[in-house]
A and B are shown apart, each in its own frame.
Chain A
């Protein structure tokens, strides 16, 4: 099962490597991991996408909680939540492809944020499936480069993760 784990952690040097080290040392999967400071600069928030049986996910949350710098851990996928990921994709855009790429970007509500006479950079936000479908929808030979942020997650409604 795929899980979305949110972690509030002290924004200190080495905190990220404690988390990533824990995953590699215990053989847990990481599909993606994103981290950035929160509105309170002393805290960082991570979103970790991991897969595993219920037992493994239980161990992951327990082991994360055990890290001294971790303040809170929540498995967002236990209830309604939202996931978003940002992708920047650079494509070869020449001739008739220019129009077509623009059209596909519009359908996916992507935005073209850089234009040269032969390339576009398209910015696309959405859940992982949407981004995967966009990549699938364009001619793969046109893709020059992609970069994705990994998933950031947040609970719906009154579910709030803060100090």
Chain B
């Protein structure tokens, strides 16, 4: 039987067991939306701006192990989506984005709502396709899902001209994909793995540095086993939080620009470092030359060969799928029965405990004014550390990362790579739909939240009971902090004037709004919010406008050159 291109697209999505498509209709995708209307397998979530569709699909993927799907129209639909695509690309999130395009004959004619989608998105997708024949739709979508989720994951875009969605073809969804040009590696090199195990066993000061790759490849259990077997300290990157349980003794906290003192020190002064699904980026190791001044052996496991020896020279590169490689390492460790030298390890832990005793995350609480750190600590207590937490970008993001102790992977969602303000609420939408009934908190600020505030309307339509905790300091806090540290307190355009009454704004969208001004009311407000299981509650916390994020490694400085508090300035 012949089906239209539009029917084929929707059938493909059903074949891929897609639960939700996040999108926004428009001229070039009308036939697709008509087919979505006629079926009930794939549910569509209508956002209020295409950027949010991408973020929601991205979060759906981050909080599950599945591919997120978004659908937008041509031209402005695509350009609005670009920020969301780039956000997912930077954090290696598997997504399939279907975009409408003007009819084939109109391509290149500067038609209404035409843009060069494949050209515009090329640098921020893992791959993209322009479908020029209705017969190619099914194989292309099959390939798109395959490419998105295998190897180093990433967003894949399929651009479909309107006439192709109207043309007809037989529908036959391919069972498998083979591509001669794309064969992602899975098993690591056995010789390298042996070398790595040898190094780990000989280590006197071993250190494990785990990143977002562990979360993406669902390798947390194996990582945890490795850390415990070796008895070594473990740090997680911003993207890796939850990969190793934060409340565990062997966890030394997040590392990097706003990382824990003990984590950064251990990174610098270990003698064998094993990097697992992490990429030594600029916010993690600071100045690479300073990092390299201390001699240590580095083992680097990553699925992407181009991540290895990009910023830091490594001694034992292992390219492979993390769960497979970790399995191999664990098997070798088990078979040998050897363990790192106990005495040296005890010595190493003594040193780490000394660093830890600096208590780098301590802050001076106040009875007068709400400290933002205090809000996150209370959020952790009230949710018993079990909530899904999304954040936007800025100071509140760092406080959420530092003070909410994530014990499980896929519970912490933020834009680590691109640093996109405005992801918080749409991320919340994606997470809540993927995990109905779970507690979902959005930690945000008055700056970021206004970048996708319109999504409060989507939340109303789909009854998404987010708990939005806005740490309102009336500043673009991170910008202000840098201006204070580097630009002589000249707060150029970082003050937020004429803010709306957020509680009333939430109410205007049909939600519950609270405004909290006193430290004593923080816990009560949070408890009240989470008691309202079916309501979205927006809590506008009026926090200390002058608070800064510590510790901090200034840009370009070495990892151990840390400002621990205002006294160090």
Q: Is the CB of B180 within 8 A of A163?
A: yes
Q: Is the CB of B309 within 8 A of A68?
A: no
Q: Is the CB of A21 within 8 A of B180?
A: no
Q: Is the CB of B147 within 8 A of A68?
A: yes
Question: Hey, which chain A residues are within 8 Å of B119, CB to CB?
Answer: 17
- Provided the pairs A70-B181, A71-B180 are in contact, do residues A65 and B305 lie with their beta carbons within 8 angstroms? yes
From B183, which residue of chain A is reached at the shortest CB distance?
Answer: A71
Q: Is the CB of B304 within 8 A of A66?
A: yes
In the complex, per-residue mask of B106-137: 1 if CB is within 8 Å of any chain A CB, else 0: 00000000000011001100110010000000
In the complex, per-residue mask of A1-42: 1 if CB is within 8 Å of any chain B CB, else 0: 000000001100110011001000100000000000000000
Question: Hey, which chain B residues are within 8 Å of A70, CB to CB?
Answer: 181
CA distance A115 to B142 in the complex (A): 57
Q: Is the CB of A62 within 8 A of B305?
A: yes
Question: Hey, which chain B residues are within 8 Å of A163, CB to CB?
Answer: 180
A63 contact from B147, B181, B306, Cβ within 8 A: B306
From B181, which residue of chain A is reached at the shortest CB distance?
Answer: A71
Q: Is the CB of B309 within 8 A of A58?
A: yes
In the complex, per-residue mask of B295-316: 1 if CB is within 8 Å of any chain A CB, else 0: 0000000001110011000000
Q: Is the CB of B181 within 8 A of A10?
A: yes
Q: A14-B122, A17-B122 are in contact. List 14 more A-B contacts (CB 8 A).
A: A17-B119, A18-B122, A21-B122, A25-B123, A55-B309, A58-B309, A63-B306, A68-B127, A68-B147, A68-B179, A68-B181, A69-B127, A71-B180, A71-B181
From A15, which residue of chain B is reached at the shortest CB distance?
Answer: B181
B306 contact from A13, A17, A62, A69, Cβ within 8 A: A62
CA distance A66 to B184 in the complex (A): 10
Q: Is the CB of B123 within 8 A of A21?
A: yes
Some 17 contacts from A to B, beta carbons below 8 A apart, are: A14-B118, A14-B130, A17-B122, A18-B122, A59-B310, A62-B306, A63-B306, A65-B305, A65-B306, A68-B126, A68-B127, A68-B182, A69-B127, A69-B181, A70-B181, A71-B180, A71-B181
Which of B118, B180, B309 neighbours the largest number of chain A CB atoms within 10 Å of its CB?
B180
CA distance A70 to B306 in the complex (A): 15
Question: Hey, which chain B residues are within 8 Å of A9, CB to CB?
Answer: 181
Chain B residues close to A by CB (< 8 Å): 118-119, 122-123, 126-127, 130, 147, 179-182, 304-306, 309-310
Question: Hey, which chain A residues are within 8 Å of B180, CB to CB?
Answer: 71, 163
Question: Hey, which chain B residues are within 8 Å of A17, CB to CB?
Answer: 119, 122
Q: Can you list the 9 inter-chain pairs with the closest CB atoms, starting with the nearest?
A: A62-B306, A68-B127, A71-B181, A62-B305, A25-B123, A68-B182, A63-B306, A69-B181, A10-B181
Chain B nearest CB from A162 CB (Å) reads 12
CA distance A58 to B123 in the complex (A): 20
Chain B nearest CB from A31 CB (Å) reads 22
CA distance A10 to B310 in the complex (A): 27
CA distance A14 to B179 in the complex (A): 17
From B125, which residue of chain A is reached at the shortest CB distance?
Answer: A68
Question: Hey, which chain B residues are within 8 Å of A25, CB to CB?
Answer: 123
From B119, which residue of chain A is reached at the shortest CB distance?
Answer: A17
Question: Hey, which chain B residues are within 8 Å of A14, CB to CB?
Answer: 118, 122, 130
CA distance A10 to B126 in the complex (A): 16
Chain A nearest CB from B219 CB (Å) reads 21
Which of A10, A25, A66, A163 neighbours the largest number of chain B CB atoms within 10 Å of its CB?
A66
Chain B nearest CB from A20 CB (Å) reads 10
Question: Hey, which chain A residues are within 8 Å of B309, CB to CB?
Answer: 55, 58
Chain A nearest CB from B438 CB (Å) reads 35
CA distance A163 to B147 in the complex (A): 21
Within 8 A of B (CB), among A46-64: 55, 58-59, 62-63
Question: Hey, which chain A residues are within 8 Å of B122, CB to CB?
Answer: 14, 17-18, 21
Chain B nearest CB from A25 CB (Å) reads 5
Q: Is the CB of B306 within 8 A of A66?
A: yes
CA distance A14 to B121 in the complex (A): 12
Chain B nearest CB from A53 CB (Å) reads 12
CA distance A62 to B306 in the complex (A): 5
Question: Hey, which chain B residues are within 8 Å of A58, CB to CB?
Answer: 309
CA distance A21 to B122 in the complex (A): 8
CA distance A139 to B182 in the complex (A): 51
CA distance A66 to B310 in the complex (A): 14
CA distance A14 to B117 in the complex (A): 12
Question: Hey, which chain A residues are within 8 Å of B123, CB to CB?
Answer: 21, 25
CA distance A71 to B179 in the complex (A): 9
Question: Hey, which chain A residues are within 8 Å of B181, CB to CB?
Answer: 9-10, 68-71
Chain B nearest CB from A19 CB (Å) reads 11
Q: Is the CB of B126 within 8 A of A59?
A: no
Q: Is the CB of A59 within 8 A of B306?
A: yes
Question: Hey, which chain B residues are within 8 Å of A68, CB to CB?
Answer: 126-127, 147, 179, 181-182
From B182, which residue of chain A is reached at the shortest CB distance?
Answer: A68
Question: Hey, which chain A residues are within 8 Å of B179, CB to CB?
Answer: 68
Chain A nearest CB from B115 CB (Å) reads 15
Chain A nearest CB from B238 CB (Å) reads 23
Chain B nearest CB from A52 CB (Å) reads 14
CA distance A84 to B78 in the complex (A): 43
Question: Hey, which chain A residues are within 8 Å of B118, CB to CB?
Answer: 14
CA distance A68 to B153 in the complex (A): 12
CA distance A129 to B393 in the complex (A): 53
Chain B nearest CB from A93 CB (Å) reads 42
Chain B nearest CB from A43 CB (Å) reads 9
CA distance A63 to B130 in the complex (A): 22
From B132, which residue of chain A is reached at the shortest CB distance?
Answer: A13
Chain B nearest CB from A63 CB (Å) reads 5
CA distance A10 to B179 in the complex (A): 10
From B308, which residue of chain A is reached at the shortest CB distance?
Answer: A62
From B151, which residue of chain A is reached at the shortest CB distance?
Answer: A66
CA distance A25 to B125 in the complex (A): 13
CA distance A14 to B125 in the complex (A): 14
